[in-house]
Structure 1
């Protein structure tokens, strides 16, 4: 614990400004903890229950809390990679990949969404549907698998917690999912979605997941199906290929080459 605290202090002191944590998720978590709507924060669009896990960190001293958040997100990414079958070299490559590093630096909540992949569907759905642009593919896969394994009873068993939580959030905060329509207007330099050109690939990955009953294809599908994807959300695509060390390392190398070319051509 002392080592974690020391690392958190150092991270909070020396890491650059985490724009998403500072301007979106921390204020939204503080708002919901004080009984106010998190949607008073202009750029908060995610499911409100995702903030509950962030409330303790949001109430910490500013820099220390930012450091704790960094350590927490890094540990979560590592845990997800381990649970998805990554070997040591693959895990390191994933943690040092551009999308994951971008997630660290901005302080986004993709680590929390991907953590749902380590749980059974009944619990995992509560996490992956915090951001559907990351989790919709695996949610649809779990729906089909539930129907295959036990029909409507199994679907009810797996999906009732998400259904109750979603309806409760609508009763409390109104039609908050409609706010996500504003994301389409996000400037292109922030929105890294390849939609609609990526739709065929997303559909193909989903079809492969259903046909082969392989969830890794569904994990990777969502960012290709969404009209709004920030760069760090492509960590979900990498998460789907983590069982393959070769493909993961090649993908990470390719991403670093792309980042280098983009940097050199923009300066």
Structure 2
């Protein structure tokens, strides 16, 4: 078993996931990059190793239970435990203005990745997280998943469409709370992070924030101390700056 603090980030070959892995690596973490495409994952891991970060790629498709199981077995074999799990992988399909026009198959695909994906990965890696002292789980959510924000007629999100995507993140928020309550007696903290409107492939790089800003809240939650919060929804900070707008 490695003495290093180990972290796994899903969807980590690019965007926010890659930046989270980079920032954790600069903090001394041994980082695993969970990626669907093995070649792209290895390329990303190599670029981090070139910066002096201990990084390895592992093939992991959050919609494929066999892939997840194999990834967990490899991390167990090579690291022996997992201190941090960042469920970052996510997708958005289409831009329908109204729910009445949204394709059900597209909605199902988004739920499969954005909602059920983190559950599959967390369930498979829980035995490794339990081998660590005070493990941390971070879910990549979105302000678009906040019911409070969505129902604020004077807020930014009142006229936003993307019903399927938003609902997949709302469901993820509920699962975050349920998991946090379940794991509280074991000292495992579970929180959701809202990275904000960040320029990534997910939105055609139209976001006004850069990945460095978005990753910071995720890394903060991944490195919470003993007195840190759990079952929270955070944006740009965790010390007294919780959105608390589930």
Max radius of gyration: which structure?
Answer: 1
Give yes or no for TM over 0.5. Answer: no
TM-score (norm 1): 0.27
Q: Which has the higher contact order (CA 8 A, sep 6+)?
A: 1
